[in-house]
Structure 1
Amino acid sequence: MIEMDSAVNHNNRSISLDGEHLTLEQVLLVARNNAPVKLHISGKEKLLKSRKIVERIISSGEVAYGITTGFGKFSDISISTEDCSTLQKNIIMSHACGVGEPLPQEVVRAMMLLRANSLAKGYSGVRLELVELLLGMLNSGIHPVVPCKGSVGASGDLIPLSHIALAMIGMGEVEYQGKRMASQEALRQAGLCPISLTAKEGLALINGTQYMCALGSLAVADALELFKSASIAAVMTFESLEGIPNAFDPRVHEVRPHQGQSLCAKLMLKLLQGSELLERKKHKRVQDAYTLRCIPQVHGASLDAINYVKGVLETEINSATDNPLIFPDGGDVISGGNFHGQPLALALDFLAMAVSELGSISEVRIERMVNPSLNGELPPFLTRNGGLNSGLMLL
């Protein structure tokens, strides 16, 4: 499970990984607040257990994809025991070919955390010291320089993750203590040593969806904050336009019980409580325009969508996305496609739609406020001395 030490301050809560219980809130603590991370004892045990299967394969000479064979089209080519380490180093060097501006630090930190958590699940067969180095770099503030372009998606995030792995083997560049430098030098300054990859480890470091997950996790967090801001702005607009609160009556939403809609209606009533403008207003109209009356329906649908995407991401960040997967209990090595990004791609497209709808209805409410044909008793374009002043005409 995840352990969080509530006795320390918000920025230094220690997060313990086991591959099963990481939350988006904890991802944010690490990505944006530099919370320290460690392996839970159960994560260590699972790592040791799965590694034994890889060592068995090497010692017995069994054929297993990516361990004793080449990759992709070269999967039918056998790799000798002597060349296993070279194979893993070579895939990192060949796949670290991203282009474009470096990713923001918070994205790289999230990627490092998520990859460590996936490996701690115990289905990748890497050594304990590899995950400990990854977390050591994260806790020391050594952030690999990862170009923003190059992810494949259908084959996971091979290229961005390769740039993180490159730094772990003492190659490539990192950002450390405000400077961009060679990874080997940063590791030396932090008292860490680059790792020499052994069987399965290069492939295990780069096979996954952690770039997509990192971007998605941060986007969901920002979307939830945006929802709060959009709700407050909606209430202020509603009050300024002297809306009719009856549309938020709980009975209306009980007969169409979408969770987000009901929550938004309750939120609107709570935020409007005590409004002097609405208490003294006697309305001549019987109902408001859609942009005011349908706030719970529109905002609520977006909230439900954001929470759905959050659920997808929290499943993904606690998933094994490697290939092949190693099942220690039976000793089986199975090739599959858990690296495929389709579950995230569809969910994140849904997130984009949900956020855009919050913007769309907000834009129309702004139009009602500034348009003299629609804004009731408010001054045209919200300015005094119209004509002399143009106010917000250009909105």
Structure 2
Amino acid sequence: MALNPEAIDLATLRQLWQGAPAKLDDASLARIRASAASVERIVAGGETVYGINTGFGLLANARIPAERLAELQRNLILSHSCGLGDALPRRVTRLMIVLKLLGLGRGYSGVRPAVIEALQALLDHDAMPLIPSQGSVGASGDLAPLAHLISALLGEGRIDLAGDLLPARDALVRIGLNPLVLGPKEGLALINGTQASTAIALDALFMAERVFGAAVAAGALSVDALKGSIKPFDRRISAVRGQPGQIRVAGTIRALLDGSAIVDSHHRCGRVQDPYSFRCQPQVMGAALDLLVNAARTLEIEAAAVTDNPIVFEDEDIAISGGNFHAQPVAFAADIIAMALCEVGSLSERRTSVLVDPKMSGLPAFLTDDGGVNSGLMIPQVTAAALTSENKTLAFPASVDSIPTSAGQEDHVSMAPIAARKAAQIAKNAAGIIAVELIAAAQGVDYHAPLATSAPLKALHEKVRALSPHLEADRYWADEMAAIQSAILSGNLAPPPASSWLA
């Protein structure tokens, strides 16, 4: 896939997240060469320019002699390679590299083509540097994570080469790459930027899209399990409110339930007062969808944004120091994803609670026969409740926090990577919550046999049953729940439009 950084959309980013091969287009390479030539002219002119021939941060006033500029750039990378914590997932690291290429490809960063070639080599050989997930506050760029990415190109740290964990220098030899020697401005161009925060947030966003689709489908299946009313999903109710997400969700639930013999069996029962977790699905899920769409728009823009510093304008041979590295837009977007997913999971857990309660559902207690001897879904619902409560804690926005760094020079920070990592965890937790609901809803629908659910929900029911058979008696649950959670996160348990909710 040839990447044009000036025309990146969410669909392309989704493909890149899924591992589509990619490289910058020829126009990007031409812009990169022009920007690099501009930096050469600035250096030759002898002017003192931040990031090119000065120190960094509070040391910006220290002029560095020309013969030490390469040492300056290397020291910058090594000194900033100080992260801690578990390594980022390979898919996130890969997306980080792609996003860094996109930003550099705009032609405002002053790096040489050799830098682009080195980053591209990592992609081409599936060589993913090990990047600790902690250590960035999302202010002067994601300094530590990006430094770990670039230090691997210098031969420092470790690289996961297609699953084989090697010292970086050895991995570079295997892929035929010499350790990179950085030129003026390049170190700062490579570690200033929001690419780590944005990659983690996009990972959370695309997981959220799959979780959301599965939650809508699970909610519809639960309606049939409850023999709930379909009147709250009437098109006219959502139309008079006008919220776009609500309209879409209501329409999807109507389509999912269309043709259900279970619905037809109580068509004239007059039931209109189902619990809110059933009746208000369009309102709650629709509001969550609107938030996710807004977050997607922010991240789509940020994916190819120029976020390093200083920014080189080659037409005038000037480098202007600013603050595009501040990741506040990403922090807000990630927190929005987290809050939306928290509510998606909360609503799902409440539906499971209703289904296992015979007073509410009219179904056998905990959806099992021979209750007492069998506990049925009693404790899986507790697991869903635990994950729901954990999500509430995680959903507290990181973006409202700040702490001064760099001796007060960086006195306000975004906490974007923390917000993004929390959103990703909430997505995984929400998938677990929905996994429990799918098991419960499938069991509830089974109790209505020989009445059948609709065709799309029957297909969903069969997918659930392939991973979790009908419950006859108590059994070991964890593996089945984890399998359904994984299927949700992989996009296999959401009917159309599973991959286009955010389009």
Q: TM-score under structure 2 normalisation?
A: 0.73
- Mapping 1:289-368, distance limit 5 Å: 289-368=275-354
Q: Which deviates more, 328-337 or 70-79?
A: 328-337
Tell me: CA distance 1:145–1:166, structure 2 relative to 1, closer, same or farther (3 Å).
same
| Residue in 1 that maps onto 2:89 | 104
Tell me: CA distance 1:78–1:270, structure 2 relative to 1, closer, same or farther (3 Å).
same
Q: Does the aligned pair in 2 maintain the 1:27–1:113 contact within 8 Å?
A: no
Asked if 1:392 is matched to 2:380, the reply is: no
| Residue in 2 that maps onto 1:84 | 69
How far, CA to CA, are the matches of 2:67 and 2:375 in structure 1? 78
Secondary structure at 2:23's aligned position in 1? strand
Secondary structure at 1:100's aligned position in 2? strand
How far, CA to CA, are the matches of 1:381 and 1:47 in structure 2? 62
| Residue in 2 that maps onto 1:11 | none
- Mapping 1:174-253, distance limit 5 Å: 174-253=159-238
How far, CA to CA, are the matches of 2:315 and 2:241 in structure 1? 48
Which residue, out of 84, 103, 123, partners 1:138?
123
How far, CA to CA, are the matches of 1:363 and 1:37 in structure 2? 40
How far, CA to CA, are the matches of 2:163 and 2:356 in structure 1? 46
- How many equivalent pairs are there? 379
Which residue, out of 233, 239, 250, partners 1:254?
239
How far, CA to CA, are the matches of 1:177 and 1:300 in structure 2? 40
Q: Which deviates more, 125-134 or 165-174?
A: 165-174
How far, CA to CA, are the matches of 1:47 and 1:347 in structure 2? 29
| Residue in 1 that maps onto 2:102 | 117
Q: Does the aligned pair in 2 maintain the 1:152–1:159 contact within 8 Å?
A: no
What's the C-alpha RMSD, in Å, of the aligned pairs?
1.5
Which residue, out of 149, 159, 162, partners 2:134?
149
Q: TM-score under structure 1 normalisation?
A: 0.92
| Residue in 2 that maps onto 1:8 | none
Q: Which deviates more, 227-236 or 381-390?
A: 381-390
Cα deviation for residue 43 of structure 1 reads 0.3
Structure 1 counterpart of 2:212, which letter?
F
In the TM superposition, what whole-angstrom CA distance separates every residue of 1:123-172 from its partner, at most 9, and x where no partner exists? 10000121121011111111111112111212221011001111112222
In the TM superposition, what whole-angstrom CA distance separates every residue of 1:25-82 from its partner, at most 9, and x where no partner exists? 434434443x322220110111011112211111010111010111111111111121
| Residue in 2 that maps onto 1:66 | 51
Which residue, out of 22, 25, 29, partners 1:40?
25
Q: Does the aligned pair in 2 maintain the 1:230–1:362 contact within 8 Å?
A: yes
Q: Which deviates more, 281-290 or 114-123?
A: 281-290
Q: Specify every segment of 5 or more residues in structure 2 that has no aligned partner in the other structure, as ranges.
A: 382-503
How far, CA to CA, are the matches of 1:167 and 1:386 in structure 2? 58
Secondary structure at 2:353's aligned position in 1? helix
How far, CA to CA, are the matches of 1:344 and 1:116 in structure 2? 18
Structure 1 counterpart of 2:99, which letter?
L
Q: Does the aligned pair in 1 maintain the 2:231–2:272 contact within 8 Å?
A: no
RCO (CA 8 Å, sep 6+): is it higher in 1 or 2? Answer: 2
Secondary structure at 1:360's aligned position in 2? helix
Q: Does the aligned pair in 2 maintain the 1:324–1:336 contact within 8 Å?
A: yes
| Residue in 2 that maps onto 1:371 | 357
In the TM superposition, what whole-angstrom CA distance separates every residue of 1:321-372 from its partner, at most 9, and x where no partner exists? 0110011223331111111111111111111110010111111111111112
Q: Does the aligned pair in 2 maintain the 1:92–1:162 contact within 8 Å?
A: yes
Q: Does the aligned pair in 2 maintain the 1:372–1:381 contact within 8 Å?
A: yes
How far, CA to CA, are the matches of 2:111 and 2:7 in structure 1? 20
Secondary structure at 2:165's aligned position in 1? strand
